């Protein structure tokens, strides 16, 4: 395929992915908006008003970046894992496998589709948050870079999960039992400096801590960890996951007999 | 240049099942080719390998001069595949499914829409273009898969049981459509459960059994190998037992029906003379089975001693 043909194929997958999650918007776009509104009302307003300041900001402002990042993570992961597994389940993956598209194009198309949903939901949550608090983004480029890389990383995670999944249980295990606990324990609702030395050290093993804090640095200008080390780690994981997913796709793991 | 060449193609699945044991096959350009075999013989594995849905264990696949190993993209551009199972998203609209498939081949959207309209119209699905695929009937879904396989205008079209579950009228119209495609110069490879379909449409035929090609010839030569043909005769009056006719094997199916095996060396005239001599009046006659089916069963039966007991029936 020429470069232009590959570009057309890539856009075709992205369009198909975006069309899919827009078609089922009550399942994909509405729930995060409602859930996050509840978080803002309950944790931000009711509980937050009694907590006072955290990291030099009122509690509502402090948790907004973490909640945006949580939405981005869950939705970019959820989009790719459910979409790619559905194509396997319905055998429509064969439409792509018989075509001359390279594994690189297929993978990139799915990942960008997941990123679009993650970022779109992040935008919705940001808009909702503006009804509760003011946001003055301190480092716009870092904010955008963290969102882009994190959504790509979790879209890749969803893709790898879907490759190995054999049934619908397999695509809910990781989001429910790994991703959600790591997100909640990743400093979304609190500064990890509040933890004892032991638990703070344990928390630093959680990769989501770095994403939440790097994003919080972009928006509020404060972070519990070194921002540039966080950016480097997210980038390294993204590249690593991309290469792993590409290798699995080339081998035909989980999709070819 | 051949449309498809398979050289010593082998496939052993992870569970140890040896599905293909060294297939050699050549399909010439412009052929209308039937690939037949009982269930589990290796047809779908062969098609799966050619269409890149199954990884081969060994051997070489060449599609219109392009090796599937070394020039995968070029080889894939040349083929269109209509699988046995419905494999499109049931929730997408008919038009979108075909246009999206064109996009996977790098065809820009305006041309993709033009081609989608062309093939949906040809296959009688244009009125359904805005419907979700799940709302289509079985026959319409089959036609949708054909339209989708043609949207990048491949030179080689592979159809895995394209008329399964399709009513007779629609099957005939699909035959006409496929004949038209072949007349335009497209090479067509077909697997089917309906041997009448293979006999009507195909000029060449290969029979695969136990992962090996057991017959590969043109249809005419193959049918000439049929040594015995079985006919059903409807009698004017009921009889109690079958007549004894030297040179013919006769069975009484019921009081008014005879089943007669006629060797190729015997003429039908002799049969009717012998029946008339014994005062049997024949009102009508028909083949017990399609000629190709009869031959197919005999060929497969030759391999019975090593037959897989799990195999269900001939296809």
Tell me how far apart the alpha carbons of residues A11 and B108 are, in angstroms, rounded to a whole number.
10
Q: What does the longest C-alpha to C-alpha distance in chain A come to? A: 61
- For the whole model, what pTM was predicted? 0.82
Cα–Cα separations (whole angstroms), residue A247 to A150, A250, B45? 21, 5, 24
In a domain, A165, yes or no: yes
What's the average model confidence in pLDDT over A226-238? 91
Cα–Cα separations (whole angstroms), residue B288 to B230, B238, B241, B260, B313? 6, 20, 20, 9, 17
Q: Which tokens hold the place of B243?
A: 């007549």
Collapsing DSSP states into helix, strand and coil, what is residue B136?
coil
Tell me how far apart the alpha carbons of residues A81 and A160 are, in angstroms, rounded to a whole number.
8
Domain spanning B2-224: which CATH class is it, in words? alpha beta
Does residue B66 belong to the interface with chain A, where contact is any CB pair within 8 Å? Answer: no
Q: Select from B76, B90, B104 the Cβ nearest to the Cβ of A95.
A: B104
Q: Select from B53, B90, B107 the Cβ nearest to the Cβ of A90.
A: B90
Q: Which residue of A has its CA nearest to B57?
A: A257
Would you mind telling me the total number of residues written for chain A in this entry? 257
Give, for all 315 residues of chain B, the pLDDT tens digit. 899 999 999 999 988 889 999 999 999 999 999 998 888 888 889 999 999 999 999 999 999 999 999 999 999 999 999 998 888 888 899 999 999 999 999 999 999 999 999 999 999 899 999 999 999 988 889 999 999 999 999 999 999 988 877 778 888 888 889 999 999 999 999 987 777 788 888 889 898 888 999 888 888 777 777 677 788 889 988 888 888 888 888 888 888 899 888 887 788 888 888 888 888 889 998 887 666 676 677 776 666 544 444 443 333
In a domain, A257, yes or no: no
Which run of H or of E encompasses B149?
helix B138-150
In a domain, A49, yes or no: no
For chain B, where do the domains classified as CATH 3.30.70.1560 start and end?
A: 228-292
Collapsing DSSP states into helix, strand and coil, what is residue A143?
helix
- Do A256 and B54 lie within an 8 Å CB cutoff? yes
Instruction: Work out how many domains chain A is built from and give that number.
Output: 1
Q: Which tokens hold the place of B193?
A: 């459960």
Distance from CA of B147 to the nearest CA of A (A): 13
End-to-end CA distance of chain A: 25
Distance from CA of B86 to the nearest CA of A (A): 8
- Do A90 and B96 lie within an 8 Å CB cutoff? no
Instruction: Find where tokens 């054909």 sit.
Output: B146
Distance from CA of B109 to the nearest CA of A (A): 8
Does residue B70 belong to the interface with chain A, where contact is any CB pair within 8 Å? Answer: no
DSSP-derived pairing of the beta strands B212-218 and A53-54: unpaired
**Residues of the domain holding A245:** 3-42+54-251
Q: Are B159 and B146 in contact (CB under 8 A)?
A: yes
What's the average model confidence in pLDDT over A184-204? 86
Distance from CA of B81 to the nearest CA of A (A): 8
Q: Are B102 and B148 in contact (CB under 8 A)?
A: no
Does A165 have pLDDT greater than 50?
Answer: yes
In a domain, A64, yes or no: yes
Q: Which ipTM did the prediction report?
A: 0.87
In a domain, A148, yes or no: yes
Distance from CA of B283 to the nearest CA of A (A): 52
Does residue B12 belong to the interface with chain A, where contact is any CB pair within 8 Å? Answer: no
Count other C-beta atoms under 10 Å from residue B297's C-beta: 14
For chain B, where do the domains classified as CATH 3.40.50.300 start and end?
A: 2-224
Q: Which tokens hold the place of B153?
A: 């205008």
Q: Are A250 and A242 in contact (CB under 8 A)?
A: no
Q: Are B166 and B174 in contact (CB under 8 A)?
A: yes
Tell me how far apart the alpha carbons of residues B210 and B303 are, in angstroms, rounded to a whole number.
9
Collapsing DSSP states into helix, strand and coil, what is residue B35?
strand
Average pLDDT taken over every residue of chain A: 91
Does residue B95 belong to the interface with chain A, where contact is any CB pair within 8 Å? Answer: no
In a mutational test of the A interface, the residue from B44, B94, B106, B112 whose CB has the highest number of chain A CBs within 10 Å is B106
Would you mind telling me the total number of residues written for chain B in this entry? 315
For B228-292, CATH number out of 3.30.70.1560, 3.40.50.1100, 3.90.550.10, 3.90.550.50 equals 3.30.70.1560
């Amino acid at each position: 395929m020429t470069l232009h043909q590959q570009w057309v194929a890539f856009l075709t997958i992205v369009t198909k992915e975006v069309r899919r999650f827009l078609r089922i918007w009550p399942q994909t776009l509405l729930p995060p908006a409602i859930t996050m509104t509840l978080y803002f009302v309950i944790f931000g307003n009711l509980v937050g008003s009694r907590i006072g300041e955290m990291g030099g900001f009122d509690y509502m402002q402090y948790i907004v970046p973490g909640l945006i990042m949580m939405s981005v993570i869950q939705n970019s992961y959820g989009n790719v894992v459910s979409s790619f597994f559905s194509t396997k389940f319905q055998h429509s993956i064969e439409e792509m496998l018989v075509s001359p598209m390279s594994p690189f194009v297929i993978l990139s198309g799915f990942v960008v589709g997941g990123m679009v949903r993650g970022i779109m939901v992040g935008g919705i949550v940001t808009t909702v948050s503006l009804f509760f608090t003011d946001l003055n983004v301190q480092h716009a480029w870092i904010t955008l870079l963290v969102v882009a890389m994190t959504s790509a990383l979790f879209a890749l995670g969803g893709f790898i999960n879907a490759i190995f999944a054999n049934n619908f249980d397999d695509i809910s295990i990781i989001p429910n039992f790994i991703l959600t606990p790591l997100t909640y324990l990743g400093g979304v609702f609190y500064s990890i400096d509040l933890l004892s030395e032991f638990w703070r050290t344990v928390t630093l093993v959680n990769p989501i801590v770095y994403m939440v804090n790097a994003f919080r640095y972009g928006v509020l200008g404060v972070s519990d960890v070194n921002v540039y080390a966080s950016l480097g780690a997210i980038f390294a994981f993204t590249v690593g996951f991309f290469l792993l997913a590409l290798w699995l796709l080339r081998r035909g793991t989980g999709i070819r007999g | 240049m051949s449309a498809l060449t398979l050289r010593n193609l082998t496939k052993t699945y992870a569970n140890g099942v040896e599905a293909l044991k060294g297939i050699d096959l050549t399909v010439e350009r412009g052929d209308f080719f039937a690939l037949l075999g009982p269930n589990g013989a290796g047809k779908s594995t062969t098609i799966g390998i050619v269409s890149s849905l199954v990884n081969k264990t060994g051997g070489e696949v060449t599609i219109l001069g392009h090796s599937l190993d070394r020039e995968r993209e070029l080889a894939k551009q040349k083929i269109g595949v209509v699988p046995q199972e419905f494999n499109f998203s049931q929730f997408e609209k008919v038009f979108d499914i075909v246009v999206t498939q064109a996009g996977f081949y790098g065809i820009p959207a305006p041309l993709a829409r033009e081609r989608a309209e062309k093939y949906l119209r040809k296959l009688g699905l244009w009125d359904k273009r805005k419907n979700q695929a799940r709302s289509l009937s079985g026959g319409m879904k089959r036609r949708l898969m054909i339209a989708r396989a043609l949207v990048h205008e491949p030179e080689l079209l592979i159809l895995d049981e394209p008329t399964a579950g399709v009513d007779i009228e629609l099957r005939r119209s699909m035959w006409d459509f496929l004949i038209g495609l072949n007349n335009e110069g497209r090479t067509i490879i077909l697997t089917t459960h309906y041997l009448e379909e293979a006999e009507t449409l195909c000029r060449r035929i290969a029979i695969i059994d136990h992962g090996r090609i057991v017959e590969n010839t043109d249809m005419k030569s193959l049918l000439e190998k049929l040594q015995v043909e079985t006919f059903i005769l409807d009698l004017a009056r009921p009889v109690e037992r079958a007549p004894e006719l030297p040179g013919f094997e006769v069975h009484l199916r019921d009081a008014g029906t005879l089943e007669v095996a006629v060797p190729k060396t015997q003429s039908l005239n002799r049969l009717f003379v012998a029946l008339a001599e014994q005062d049997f009046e024949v009102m009508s006659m028909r083949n017990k089975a399609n000629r190709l089916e009869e031959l197919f069963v005999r060929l497969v039966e030759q391999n019975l001693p090593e037959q897989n007991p799990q195999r269900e029936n001939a296809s």
